[in-house]
Amino acid sequence: MPRQPEETPARKPSEIFAERVREIREAKRWTQQDLAERLDELGAGADRATVARTENGKRGITLDNAVTYCAALGAPLLYMIVGVKVEPVAIAPGLRVSGGEARRWARGMAALRPEDDRTYITEVPEADYLAGYRAGLSVLLNLVQDLVDAAANRDRDAEVAAIDRLNVEVDRWREGIDRETEREERLHHGKR
């Protein structure tokens, strides 16, 4: 699994969470008081100063409170704790991964370490695991439809753009298949 170079500072989920609370609150054009009132409506008993300390990373937050903030903001917990960027995430003091790896792990698509594959697979419901692959297939099918539409309309620029997007997605799909094959091989060899 590729790791980020040590020079790139990794951010802790709590730091990402604090930043995302502020970003989403500002995107909604809410004041800190607006968010505090929404949190209070949900039973969190927060005030503006509490929101400010949370956004500044000055206040530790429980998992229950993090989920309440997400509900108040209408934001998925996953992207609040591992972010939406490619920057490295410090999942634990001794474990740094890329943002993409952190999101795949949190979605139930991949273990963080190869030695955890067996446990990980048994803990992720098969329907959730397969849903990710179905979503990828749906993207591929939509891109093929874009290519067919562009060809039918004799729009060469749109055809080239669709082919480029399709190539990128096929490469992602192939990488996913390769990861899955490696995972299955590690599991198979581990059973012997």
Give the number of residues written for the chain. 192
Among 107, 140, 173, identify where a domain stops.
Answer: 107
Q: Are residues 160 and 186 in the same domain?
A: yes
Query: Region 13-33: what's the mean pLDDT?
Result: 96
Instruction: For residues 95 and 27, state if they share a domain.
Output: yes
Count of domains observed in the chain: 2
Rounded-to-integer distance, Cα 160 and Cα 172, Å: 19
Tell me: do 131 and 82 sit in the same domain: no
Model pLDDT, residue 38: 97
pLDDT of residue 13 exceeding 90, the answer is yes
Residue 6 lies in a domain: no
Instruction: Tell me, yes or no, whether 49 lies in a domain.
Output: yes
Q: How far is 59 from 65, CA to CA, in rounded Å?
A: 11
| Residue 50: per-residue pLDDT | 95
State the alpha helices, DSSP H only, in the chain: 13-27, 32-41, 48-55, 63-73, 77-81, 99-107, 117-123, 126-152, 156-190
Dmax over CA atoms of the chain, in Å, equals 60
Continuous segment of H or E residues that includes residue 90: strand 89-92
What would the pLDDT profile of 25-53 be if each residue is shown by its tens digit? 999 999 999 999 999 999 998 999 999 99
Residues 21 and 86 in one domain: yes
pTM, 2 dp: 0.66
Q: How confident is the model at residue 5 (pLDDT cuts 50, 70, 90)?
A: very low
Domain that holds residue 181: 114-190
Which one of 89, 107, 125 terminates a domain? 107
